[in-house]
Amino acid sequence: MNLQLSPIIRLPQVSVGKGAFVTGERVVAEETPVALTYNGSTHAVMMASPADLDDFALGFSLSEGIVAAPDDLISTEIIEHEMGCEIRMWLSDRCSGAYRMRRRALAGPVGCGLCGVESLAEAWRPLSRIAGTLRVSPEAIADAMADLSEAQRLNREARAIHGAAFWRPGRGVIAIREDVGRHNALDKLAGVLAKHSEPPSEGAVLLTSRVSVEMVQKTARMGAPLLVAISAPTALAVRVAEGCGITLLAVARGDSFEVFTHPDRVDLVHCEGTKLR
C-alpha cells in the first residue's frame, strides 16, 4: 500500500458526459489509519486526514477524558509507517494510573465517535453544565458561517473534507481544523484551542456537518456555550444539548438557521416572528 501522507493529493481521472470523455486530474482527500498509543499501548485506530496530528492527539486525549490539561501529555511523537501513522503519547503520573484502570480499544471507520466503548455507562460520561454570558445576533451567525466556508482551504480543493472552527465576537474565526472525519476535525480544534489557552467559553463552535450526540458531547467537554452547524441534529443531540446548557443552532445556511435549545443566547429582539405554543 502506497499511502500519501498529505491531506489532499492529485489523481488522474476520466470525466464522462454528453457522449464524450476527457482525461484530466482531480484533487481528492487522503485518509490514513492513525494509531493513538498511550504509554506504549494502542488505544485507538482512527481513519483521519494526515494533517495537524499533534492537535488531534491533544484534542482526542482531552475529549476522551484521558488527560485533563495539555501538560498531562509528557511527550508526543508522530511516527510515519508504510501503512499509516502512529501517535505515541506518554502520560503524566497523575493520569497514568487512571488510564490503566479504564484502558479500552477503539477501532472504526472515519471518525466513528462511540465505537468500542465497553459499557453504556462509559458512553454517557457526565457533562458539566455550560454557563456564560455569550449573546449573538442572527447577522453575526450568518457572517460566522460564511467565514467558516472561506476558511476551509483543504475543502475548497477536495470538496470532501469536514471543518470545525472556533469563532469569537469581534474577532471572527480564529481557528479552524479540517479532516475527512467530522469528529476528528472537532478533536483537532479542541487540541489547538487548548494548546494556545484560548477559552472556548467566549465563543462558538462552527461545524460543516450534521450534529450527532458525540459532537455535542465534545463541544460540552471543551466548554463552548454555542454550537452552530450547517446540517440538522439528531433528536438525542438536541436532548443532550438542552441538558448541558449548550445553545444548538443547526441548518445554518445563508442568513437563516434553526434554534433548537437555549435560545436566550440569540438576540431575536429585532426579528419579526410568532412564538409557537
Q: Which residues are catalytic?
A: 112
Q: Which residues neighbour 91 within 8 Å (Cβ) at sequence distance 6 or greater? A: 38, 39, 66, 67, 72, 73, 74, 99
* CA distances to 128, 133, 219, 277 from 245, in Å: 9, 12, 11, 22
- Alpha helices by DSSP H, listed for 103-234, are 120-123, 138-151, 153-158, 182-195, 213-222
The β-bridge relationship of strands 247-253 and 41-48 is: unpaired
Among left, alpha and beta (phi > 0; psi -120 to 50; other), residue 52 is left
Name the residue with cell 485506530: 45
